[in-house]
Amino acid sequence: MKGPRRGNSSYTGPVLRPSEQSPPAGVRAWLHEIIFESDTPAGKAFDVALLWAILLSVLAVMLESVAPIRAQYGAIIRIAEWVFTVLFTLEYVLRLCAVSRPLLYARSFFGLVDLLAILPSFVSLFFPGAQSLLVVRVLRLLRVFRVLKLVSFLGQAEVLLTALRASRPKITVFLGAVLSTVVIMGSVMYLVEGEANGFDSIPRGMYWAIVTMTTVGFGDITPKTVAGQFIASVLMIMGYGVLAVPTGIVSVELAAASRHGLNPEACPGCGAEGHDVDAVHCKFCGTRL
């Protein structure tokens, strides 16, 4: 399991790696222990406080966007947001100090999220309103999985990701087919319905085709002519059958992913993993399992 994860799941690795590779000394080790690990009481307290800070800061951004609340508590919320921003900036700098390879951390998934979580505040000094983007902080909550030791949850996420990754070629082919249909149906509806009925350009027709094929069906633009309604009916019934394809793909890959997950034994001969549950011999070297 170690091998492949080191290769392609870059979001948990980097923050843990430094301690494996070059043991940091003195202050950095102490910082690393508190900020990145959650085994010690101090480390756990830090992580729990961080999660609450994240939740509260996202809530503050949300509340600020509601006009009546902004009118009454606007000043307090702005102050709270800046307090959180300063705290998170401090934390980001400390994280950079705590790892032996700051650049590696800065380029990792969590490093980028940590940066994005503070940038909008500074941007909002020049472009008022940009602070709404602070909600990206919600992504920081992904750390909760490590804090709460929800390793089994992470395992499940791994299975989901494996299934999605394995489905990618099929889903790409599928999305290509869907997009081609959208372009063509959007153009046909633009010709058939025309600007009078809301289909005032091909891109607008494509927007309608996506709304229809995905069965969202807002109803802001709808066919009015008999021909348009007939074409829409065909598109809807087609979308009905098409909807089955990604579901089928993910089901099959998920079944495969969880099947492989059920037999956790490694081959005693060659150490290979991922055998089927009904396998009697290793499928790579033939050793009896």
112-151: contacts with its own copies (CB under 8 A): 129-130, 132-133, 135-136, 138-139, 141-142
For residue 27, the minimal CB distance to its own copies (Å) is: 34
**Residue placing its CB nearer to its own copies in the complex, 105 or 190:** 190
The answer to whether residue 73 forms part of the interface with its own copies (CB under 8 A) is no
What CA–CA distance (Å, rounded) separates 240 from 276? 34
The answer to whether residue 6 forms part of the interface with its own copies (CB under 8 A) is no
**Residue placing its CB nearer to its own copies in the complex, 122 or 240:** 240
CA atoms within 13 A of residue 69's CA, in its CB half-sphere: 11
The answer to whether residue 152 forms part of the interface with its own copies (CB under 8 A) is yes
What CA–CA distance (Å, rounded) separates 64 from 57? 11
What CA–CA distance (Å, rounded) separates 53 from 47? 10
DSSP β-bridge partners for residue 288: 281
| Beta carbons of 48 and 34 less than 8 angstroms apart | no
Q: How is 236-288 classified by DSSP, letter by letter?
A: HHHHHHHTHHHHHHHHHHHHHHHHHHH--PPPTTT------TT-SB-TTT--B
CA atoms within 13 A of residue 284's CA, in its CB half-sphere: 10
For residue 33, the minimal CB distance to its own copies (Å) is: 27
CA dihedral 106, 111, 117, 119 (to 10 degrees): 10
**Residue placing its CB nearer to its own copies in the complex, 29 or 157:** 157
What CA–CA distance (Å, rounded) separates 89 from 29? 20
**Residue placing its CB nearer to its own copies in the complex, 5 or 283:** 283
The answer to whether residue 75 forms part of the interface with its own copies (CB under 8 A) is no
The answer to whether residue 2 forms part of the interface with its own copies (CB under 8 A) is no
Q: Fill in the per-residue mask, 12 to 51: x = in contact with its own copies (CB under 8 A), - = not in contact.
A: ----------------------------------------
**Region of 23-31, 35-43, 56-64, 89-97 interacting with its own copies (CB under 8 A):** 56-64
**Residue placing its CB nearer to its own copies in the complex, 25 or 280:** 280
For residue 25, the minimal CB distance to its own copies (Å) is: 37
Tell me how far apart the terminal alpha carbons of the chain are, to the nearest angstrom: 18
**Region of 9-17, 76-84, 86-94, 193-201 interacting with its own copies (CB under 8 A):** 193-201
The answer to whether residue 1 forms part of the interface with its own copies (CB under 8 A) is no
What are the structure tokens assigned to 218, written together?
């807002």
- Among 90, 236, 265, 268, the residue binding its own copies under the rule CB under 8 A is 236
Helices and strands, counts by H and E, the chain: 13, 0
- Among 49, 76, 191, 227, the residue binding its own copies under the rule CB under 8 A is 191
- Among 79, 156, 264, 265, the residue binding its own copies under the rule CB under 8 A is 156
**Residue placing its CB nearer to its own copies in the complex, 55 or 96:** 55
